Structures are given as C-alpha cells and as structure tokens.
Amino acid sequence: MKRMVLLILIGLILYCAVSWGQEIYQWTDEKGTLHFTDDMSLIPERYRNQVQKKKVPKEPSPLPRPPGTSEEKEEISVPVPEQKDTVGRGEEWWRMQVKEWNEKLLNANKNYETAYAEWKAKEKELEESKLKPKSLQRKLMGEMKLLEDRMKEWEGQKEEAKNMLENVLPKEAADFHADPNWLEIEK
C-alpha cells in the first residue's frame, strides 16, 4: 500500500515537472503565416534558424484591441476571479463549514433541552413515587442516569461546535489566508 502511494506521488511530481517545463516554438513561413508547435521536429528545416522559444503562459494573455476602438467609449466587464485561500478553497467552502457547525450546535442545543426536560419530568415522577414500590423508584433513577449521560454527551457536542466556530475555524482561516468575512453567518 505504501509503495502504491509512493508511486502515485512520484508520478504526480513528474507530471507537474513536465507540464511546467513545456515550451512553444513559433516561426513564420514565406507567406507570412505564423505557426506554433510544441514539438521541434515538426518545424521544417529551413525555418529552424528563425524559431522563437516561448514558455507556456500560466494564464492566457489578454487579446489585443482591434484598431479604431476607444477605451473611453467602450465599457468592458471583466469577471473577477474567485478569491481562494492558500490551498484553493473559496468562500463557499468556508461558509459551508460555518453552516455545518452552526447546525451541529443548534441540534446539540435542541437535543440537550429535550433530554433536560425529560430528566426534570423523571425527577418529578421520582418525587411523587415515594410511597410506590422501590423497584419503580430504581427504574426511574436508572432512566434519570441515562438522561444525565445523554445530557453530558449533548453538552460535549455543544462545546465542540462552539470551539469550532469561535476558535478552530477562525484560526484555520487565518493560517490559510482566507477572508475572515467568509466566517460570518449570512442572514
């Protein structure tokens, strides 16, 4: 298994190295036609002395303006690239994390309140059963113990969700240079 992971990792590194090192060759024939290729062997011998090497651009360059167009008269809307953190996650990913942990917090609160209400009802029932058989009282005390355990569990989940929302996610956002506004709850 470790070998397979290592081989995949090496393959990915080699692939990246090859793709970053690509060059494009450009030449013009006798008719004035501009040609491009990434394989030097495809260039005719008589044009190889005039070949220009170019690195593959990471982003496409903007197209030149047609002659006669004015910048003042023409309004061009250029889409703004989506902002990302250092590992490529955008605003949507961070907002989904906040939403997920908020839902967990609300769910834990709701379940805690339900368990607490049931525990209070059992406590009242236990007080009223003083003159009833001891077996009923033991049963009620056992049910109360289970409800106390559930309440502790829900309390732990509430604390985990609060910690994620108040400490962990903001720290991760800062570490990965994400916009802190992405962590705010949308209304």
More confident residue, 111 or 56: 111
Do the domain assignments include residue 18? no
Q: Are residues 168 and 111 in the same domain?
A: yes
Q: Are residues 45 and 98 in the same domain?
A: no
HSE-up of residue 75 (Cα within 13 Å, Cβ side): 0
pLDDT band at 107; cut points 50, 70, 90: very high
**pLDDT, tens digit (0-9, with 9 covering 90-100), for 136-165:** 989 999 999 999 999 999 999 999 999 999
C-alpha closest to that of 24 among 61, 62, 51: 51
More confident residue, 67 or 139: 139
Do the domain assignments include residue 12? no
Please tell me the pTM assigned to this model: 0.54
Domain-terminating residue out of 56, 73, 99: 56
Q: Given this model, what pLDDT does residue 163 score?
A: 95
* Domain extent at residue 30: 24-56
C-alpha closest to that of 178 among 94, 102, 97: 94
Q: Are residues 119 and 46 in the same domain?
A: no
Q: Is the pLDDT of residue 122 over 80?
A: yes
Domain-terminating residue out of 56, 78, 100: 56
Q: Is the pLDDT of residue 91 over 70?
A: yes
Do the domain assignments include residue 9? no
Mean pLDDT for the stretch of residues 132-136: 90
Do the domain assignments include residue 14? no
Number of domains in the chain: 2
Mean pLDDT for the stretch of residues 47-65: 66
More confident residue, 49 or 125: 125
Q: Is the pLDDT of residue 44 over 90?
A: no
Q: Are residues 109 and 177 in the same domain?
A: yes
Which of 54-58, 76-80, 93-97 shows the highest mean pLDDT?
A: 93-97
Do the domain assignments include residue 156? yes
Do the domain assignments include residue 169? yes
pLDDT band at 17; cut points 50, 70, 90: low
Do the domain assignments include residue 81? no
- Above pLDDT 90, what percent of the chain? 34
Would you put residue 58 in left (φ > 0), alpha (ψ -120 to 50) or beta? alpha
Do the domain assignments include residue 161? yes
Contacts of 187 (CB under 8 A, 6+ apart): none
